[in-house]
Structure 1
Amino acid sequence: MSLTNDIQAAIITAMKAKDKETLSVLRMAKAAISNKQIELGHDLSDDETLAVLASEVKSRNDSIADFKKGKRQDLVEKTEDEIKVLAKYMPEQLTEAELDDLVSQTIQQLNASGLREMGKVMGVLSAKTKGRADGAKVASLVKTKLGAQ
């Protein structure tokens, strides 16, 4: 069963359970997936669907930062709950240690030495971490490690 079908089944379950919060988040995710399908002109693969879900999670994380600046704890908690719903459909996120090891291994494999090779390292890492780590976090870690060499 595809990820899109899983989300549709979860929408039906949430409707039957009268779980308005979960239903709302899943409907927004389904709408984002549908918009991407229209944009691309074909049904999305699971990888493409994961990319849409990752984008939804990222936008919510950005919103949390803004809500914290505005001292809106109620909205922070609501948005964190939305992320928890979406996280059920995302792959397991890499821990800090796993990400650090992966970055170090990739730098060694490519014999990268210096910031001018960051693009090459990020190209390989983005494929390895797709949907499992925030790109900005990966880029920051790569920049730190390459800058130290």
Structure 2
Amino acid sequence: MSLKEQITDDMKSAMRAKEAVKLGTIRLITAAMKQKEVDERVELNDTMILAIIEKMIKQRKDSISQFEAGARQDLADIEKAELAILVAYMPASLSEAEVQAEVAAAVTASGAAGPQDMGKVMAILKPKLAGRADMTAVSGLVKAALTKA
């Protein structure tokens, strides 16, 4: 079952169970998917859907930090509930050791000699780790690995 079909099935079950928060969040996902399909005139695959969900997760995390800084715990709780639903669609995250192993392999495969080759290494890692690791953290690991070299 594709991710798109899974999201549609989850929306139907949320409607039947009258789960308002889950239904609202899933509707946000489907709206973002349809917007991208219309804008780019493409049929979305699982990788593209994961990118959309990853962007939504980042937005929720930013909102949570802003709401908590503004002492609006009620709004932060809503965002946290949406975040939990969004995270459920992401593939299992890699451990720190697995990410470091992938970084080391990519540095070796690209033949990177220093920080100027960071783009080559990230080009190898991005398709492998997208949705499975925080790319900001991966970027930091790559930078650390290349400055040692």
Q: TM-score, normalised by structure 1?
A: 0.90
Distance 1:70 1:147 in 2: 38
Shift of 1:71: 3.6
* Offset from partner CA, 1:15-60 (integer Å, 9 cap, x none): 1111111111111011001101101112211211111111111211
Distance 2:70 2:114 in 1: 39
* Offset from partner CA, 1:72-109 (integer Å, 9 cap, x none): 33333332221221122211111222112211221122
1:143 aligns with 143
1:9 aligns with 9
Q: Helix, strand or coil for the counterpart of 1:138?
A: helix
1:98 aligns with 98
Shift of 1:110: 2.1
Deviates more, 1:114-123 or 1:50-59: 50-59
Cα 1:69–1:148 change in 2 (3 A) is farther
Distance 1:44 1:9 in 2: 17
Q: Aligned residue pairs: how many? A: 149
Q: Helix, strand or coil for the counterpart of 1:133?
A: coil
Distance 1:105 1:75 in 2: 42
1:86 aligns with 86
Amino acid paired to 2:114: G
Equivalences for residues 125-140 of structure 1 within 5 A: 125-140=125-140
Shift of 1:3: 1.3
Distance 2:119 2:103 in 1: 13
Q: Does 1:49 align with 2:62?
A: no
Shift of 1:146: 1.3
Identical residues among aligned pairs (%): 38
* Offset from partner CA, 1:107-133 (integer Å, 9 cap, x none): 122222211000000000101101111
Amino acid paired to 2:31: A
RMSD (Å), alpha carbons: 1.6
Distance 1:73 1:140 in 2: 31
Deviates more, 1:59-68 or 1:18-27: 59-68
